[in-house]
């Protein structure tokens, strides 16, 4: 299955770190959006553990590999959340994605 569970959990952990690192300079409304993305990712990882979602498409698998290898994203929660939103859309076929989180 493309996009292993450990890779998705690593993405979820890096997202939490990016949100925490950016929390001092983030307005409350934007922070809520970050936390919603983190919650969606948590739900997707839980579903993935239960074998519910499909495997990632080649694009989704590429996004997971790219996000795990890109150190320039550290502390950039806005950009990180956008990419994670794309991973969620790829993982769930758009089923658990919401909001405008498009683009790399």
pLDDT score recorded for residue 39: 93
Q: Is the dihedral of CA 99, 88, 34, 78 positive or negative?
A: negative
Q: Of residues 101 and 16, which shows the higher confidence score?
A: 16
Which pLDDT band holds residue 100 (cuts at 50, 70, 90)? Answer: very low
**From residue 96, how far is each of 20, 50, 75, 90 by CA, in Å?**
23, 15, 25, 10
Q: Per-domain residue ranges for the chain?
A: 5-92
pTM: 0.74
């Amino acid at each position: 299955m493309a996009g292993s569970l450990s890779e998705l959990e690593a993405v979820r952990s890096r997202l939490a770190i990016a949100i925490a690192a950016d929390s001092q300079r983030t307005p409350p409304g934007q922070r809520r959006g970050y936390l919603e993305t983190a919650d969606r990712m948590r739900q997707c990882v839980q579903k993935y553990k239960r074998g519910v979602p499909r495997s990632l498409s080649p694009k989704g698998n590429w996004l997971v590999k790219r996000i795990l290898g890109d150190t320039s994203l550290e502390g950039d929660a806005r950009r990180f959340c956008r990419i994670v939103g794309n991973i969620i859309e790829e993982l769930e076929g758009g089923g658990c994605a919401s909001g405008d989180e498009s683009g790399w």
